[in-house]
Structure 1
Amino acid sequence: MSDARWRLPLALCLAALAGPAIASDVIRTSPTIVLRDGYAGYPEFMKECDWAAELPAHLVEYSKGLVELTDQDLGTLPGRTLRIRIMNMRSAEGGAFSGPKWAMIRAELFQDGKLIGQYQPYRQTMTLFRGGCSSLAKISDALAADTAAWLRRGDYRVQFADEQAVIEIGPEEDVPPIQ
């Protein structure tokens, strides 16, 4: 008799524990992040530094199993995918003497090809004796931690307009010439 009393509470506890595992499907992302379309960034730091690959690796680490890397085309994969682009960045050699180093990324979360969330964190550093690559490594680590925290929160919104949107130009102005 006492064994039957515990079956329902035990089943409810097991269901509660399994719920988050089902809801948190793995999110797949690329092993390297890319520059946004039309943005040159700082080509020397994109070639010399490994921060574009460090950020996804840190993201996998900080997400604690929520994110995994894949070489497959994210646009063709079912389920949840995360596309990360570098929106803006600044880096230079010379530590604090060359000013702050910073980067802003945009993480876009897709569910079966449909955009369901965007996140655009910004981080900067200005350390006295740190070079451009080591500054970007520090920034990528912080951006990965920020992005992992956003993914774990689950508060997804689409909040940024697509840069590829067509710019509407109004009618020409009828302004008399200056004399």
Structure 2
Amino acid sequence: MAAPAAWADDIIRTSPQITLREGYVGSPEFMESCDWTREFPARLVEHGMGLVALTDQPLDTVPGRTLRVRIMHMRSADGGGFSGPKWAMIRAELYQDGTLLGQFQPYRRTMTMFRDGCSSLSKISNALAEDTAAWLRRGNFKIQYPDNREPIEIGPEEDVPPIE
């Protein structure tokens, strides 16, 4: 469904922090020690170029268009490329006055050498924010993802022996 022309001047409100989807544990040490859950919304505002603004109000009480973002799956570890890939998948849901208009579920990964887990998540966060801003600007929204709790199998975690 394409966005009506009347929405052209509407700002999309989103929370200043994204959260893990309900029931998902993720990588808790990186949720606590890294700031990427706040970094994503800030970068989304930056890449949105005036289309997105942050609000501290609960999104289900905000009139107009809102964007609710959850971390669906993630993996991070210190050790750069030696600890395997770091990745994250989010789900962005666009609402108009409480009615779901569209969903977007991008996935990004990195294998950058000699980066710690937080800097890898920062790089992933920026890429996901760019992807989400581009989706919002396209205005072609669909509802396509069921809200199931089944984990998505992206691949087994690598068991890499330490360097001696």
Shorter-chain TM-score category?
0.7 to 0.9
| Partner Cα distance (1:146, 1:90) in 2 | 19
Identical columns (%):
69
| Partner Cα distance (1:158, 1:24) in 2 | 23
Q: Aligned pair 1:163/2:163, yes or no?
A: no
CA RMSD of aligned residues (A): 1.4
Matching residue of 1:84: 69
Corresponding residue to 1:49 among 34, 41, 47: 34
Once superposed, which parts of structure 1, at least 4 consecutive aligned residues long, lie more than 3 Å away?
A: 19-22
Corresponding residue to 1:94 among 41, 62, 79: 79
- More moved, 149-158 vs 23-32: 23-32
Residue 75 (structure 1) shift: 0.5
Residue type at the aligned position of 2:88 = A
Matching residue of 1:68: 53
Q: Aligned pair 1:27/2:12, yes or no?
A: yes
Matching residue of 1:104: 89
| Partner Cα distance (1:22, 1:144) in 2 | 21
Residue 76 (structure 1) shift: 1.0
Residue 106 (structure 1) shift: 0.1
Residue type at the aligned position of 1:151 = L
Aligned length, in residue pairs? 146
Corresponding residue to 2:108 among 107, 123, 127: 123
Unaligned runs of 5+ in 2: 150-164
* Bigger radius of gyration: 1
Residue type at the aligned position of 1:139 = I
Is the helix fraction higher in 1 or 2?
1
Residue type at the aligned position of 1:86 = I
Matching residue of 1:16: none
TM-score by length of 1: 0.79
| Partner Cα distance (2:16, 2:71) in 1 | 14
Residue 23 (structure 1) shift: 2.5
Residue 24 (structure 1) shift: 3.9
Distance 1:24 1:163, change over 3 A: farther
Distance 1:117 1:63, change over 3 A: same
Q: Aligned pair 1:135/2:120, yes or no?
A: yes
